[in-house]
Amino acid sequence: MKEQRVCVLGSTGSIGVNTLDVIARHPDTLSVYALSAHSRIEQLAAQAAATGAKVVIVPTDQARSRFRNAWPGSLPLPEIRVGAQALADTAADPQVTTVMAAIVGAAGLPSALAAARAGKRVLLANKEALVAAGGLFMRTVRESGAELLPIDSEHNAIFQCMPQSGGAHAPATPAKGVRRLLLTASGGPFRSTALDQLPDVTPDQACAHPNWSMGRKISVDSATMLNKGLEVIEAHWLFAMPVNQIQVVVHPQSMVHSMVEYEDGSILAQLGQPDMRTPIAYGLGFPERIASGVGLLALTALGRLDFEEPDFARFPCLRLSFDALETGQAACVALNAANEIAVDCFLKQQIRYTEIARVIEACLDRMAGLPATSLDSLDEVLALDAHSRHIASELCLLKA
Ligand code: NAD
Ligand code: MG
């Protein structure tokens, strides 16, 4: 494996922590150059001290003071950079070879795009960046010659099952011989909950995923299956695949992480434990395979693998996502933004679980009346994102 100096954006999150775990297993080749956090500043200080990070990025001057106060006096203080622009600048820093884009939400888009523009190896966990700006992002990767490694487990699985002729590039056309992408979904914690109980589910129930341990926002997205919808859009962009060639298959065990179906009738699947260190290690080591700390999958103990059709009536967010992808880029921006607002309100117990889908649908309806914009630039995407958030916030107050 070639030597890499890694910038982990969102290092205090679930993906960030798993990334540092994998990096620590390869001290000869992998080192941490920069880390960022938004709220858990004391955890960031502990991470920076443990990894010897040269740079940390925090959101405010107040967070900078908190970082200083939490810093162990015996060690040299890392450079502390402040603000959203510092995230993008550090992603493009000449000292950095590899960027883990693991900030949650569209807030991670500018820094992920900056990493792509600077031609880095980009390990993309932040799916919202592709949902909001897939065309722009993939074009940027192609033009800069960046290496793009999908970290979302389904897309990492598909990447592993694709013909590997092109390396970690950003294809503009579907791979030859591929008929369909089969995205697996666990169905989340409410796959068989009585429908009349759904309005009363609590944030903690929604965040209790049966198979994966993740941040709270993506956990709620998994419960509503909006996460799978975002992943359909993500797969469309990553693999240049038309929407009618992407199928969602519910697979409650979460051992088959996704599949690629070929013209000759073959289906290739990638299996493994539901542990994000596998796709992270794949992205860091590519094209080599490196140790991740993940145990082997005991197939005989598992015994069976089940597959079911997704239930669009139980999971209206999945249908809304397919509709948005067919409608176009602006609808995808609105879908993502409205979801971020609605999930945040649900986590703060301001709206009910079942109101998340209603807020998204109402926001998409309102946005449908707006004149189409080209969305060729980051500024245009961010302006539409902000407008959608404004509408979604109003709808949450009205409870859609
Ligand atoms: P998390 O909530 O655990 O962590 C989010 C990180 O982003 C934290 O470090 C936080 O400080 C930072 N952050 C939050 N808001 C920010 C802002 N406005 N500006 C800058 N930084 C901010 O989330 P996670 O579960 O690690 O997920 C991160 C991303 O990876 C998401 O886009 C998610 O969809 C994707 N992803 C996660 C998993 C998983 O297993 N957790 C799997 C696939 C994809
Ligand atoms: Mg996923």
**CATH number assigned to the domain comprising residue 142:** 3.40.50.720
Report whether 170 contacts 141 (CB < 8 A). yes
Answer whether residue 334 is part of any domain: yes
Q: For residue 287, is the peptide bond before it cis, meaning its omega torsion is within 30 degrees of 0? A: yes
> How confident is the model at residue 373, as a pLDDT?
76
Answer whether residue 217 is part of any domain: yes
Are 223 and 351 found together in one domain? yes
Per-residue pLDDT reduced to its tens digit, 153-201? 999 999 999 997 667 889 999 999 999 999 999 999 999 999 999 999 9
Are 20 and 137 found together in one domain? yes
Q: Tell which of 110, 133, 150 closes a domain.
A: 150
> How confident is the model at residue 302, as a pLDDT?
87
Are 133 and 204 found together in one domain? no
Mean pLDDT of the region 72-89: 96
Please tell me the total number of residues recorded for the chain in this structure. Answer: 400
Answer whether residue 198 is part of any domain: yes
- What is the distance in A from the centroid of ligand 2 to the CA of 217? 13
340 ligand 1 Cβ < 6 A: no
Mean pLDDT of the region 279-287: 97
Are 104 and 223 found together in one domain? no
Are 22 and 107 found together in one domain? yes
- Helices then strands (H, E): number in the chain? 16, 11
* Percent above pLDDT 70 for the chain: 99
Give the separation between CA 231 and CA 348, rounded to whole angstroms. 25
User: Which residue from 141, 105, 36 is spatially nearest to 386, judged by alpha carbons?
Assistant: 105
Are 116 and 21 found together in one domain? yes
- Ligand 1 atom closest to residue 87's alpha carbon, by position in its atom list: 20
Per-residue pLDDT reduced to its tens digit, 352-382? 999 999 999 999 999 987 777 778 999 999 9
Contacts of 5 (CB under 8 A, 6+ apart): 31, 32, 33, 95, 96, 97, 98
Answer whether residue 352 is part of any domain: yes
Answer whether residue 319 is part of any domain: yes
Question: Any idea which ligand is nearest the CA of 125?
Answer: 1
> How confident is the model at residue 166, as a pLDDT?
64
Threshold 0.95, pTM exceeds: yes
- Ligand 1 atom closest to residue 111's alpha carbon, by position in its atom list: 20
Q: Predicted confidence band at 301 (pLDDT cuts at 50, 70, 90)?
A: confident
Answer whether residue 298 is part of any domain: no
Are 129 and 185 found together in one domain? no
pLDDT at 400 over 80: no
Answer whether residue 289 is part of any domain: no
Going by alpha carbons, the residue nearest to atom 31 of ligand 1 is 104
Per-residue pLDDT reduced to its tens digit, 111-126? 999 999 999 999 999 9
338 ligand 1 Cβ < 6 A: no
Q: What token pair was written down for 290?
A: 């490196």
Are 20 and 81 found together in one domain? yes
Q: What token pair was written down for 115?
A: 């990493």
pLDDT at 304 over 90: yes
For 66, 356, 371, 384, the CA distances from 337, given in Å and listed in that order, are: 30, 12, 18, 9
Answer whether residue 382 is part of any domain: yes
Q: Which domain holds residue 42?
A: 4-150
Provide the mean pLDDT of the chain.
96
Are 79 and 136 found together in one domain? yes
Are 33 and 84 found together in one domain? yes
Q: Predicted confidence band at 75 (pLDDT cuts at 50, 70, 90)?
A: very high
Q: Is 236 helix (H, G, I), strand (E, B) or coil?
A: helix
Our count of domains for the chain comes to 2
Question: Any idea which ligand is nearest the CA of 274?
Answer: 1
CATH code of the domain in which 212 resides: 1.10.1740.10
Question: Residue 30 — φ and ψ, nearest 5°?
Answer: -115, 130
- Ligand 1 atom closest to residue 214's alpha carbon, by position in its atom list: 41
Q: Which residues pair with 259 in a beta bridge?
A: 182, 269
Residue 255's H or E segment, with its range, is none
Are 265 and 128 found together in one domain? no
132 ligand 1 Cβ < 6 A: no
Report whether 338 contacts 392 (CB < 8 A). yes
> How confident is the model at residue 79, as a pLDDT?
98
Tell me which of 14, 17, 277, 292 to substitute to probe ligand 1's pocket, judged by most ligand atoms within 8 Å of the beta carbon.
Answer: 14
Q: In this structure, which residues have their CB less than 5 angstroms from ion ligand 2? A: 152-154
> How confident is the model at residue 164, as a pLDDT?
78
Give the separation between CA 247 and CA 225, rounded to whole angstroms. 14
Are 211 and 99 found together in one domain? no
Give the separation between CA 165 and CA 385, rounded to whole angstroms. 36
- What is the distance in A from the centroid of ligand 1 to the CA of 101? 9
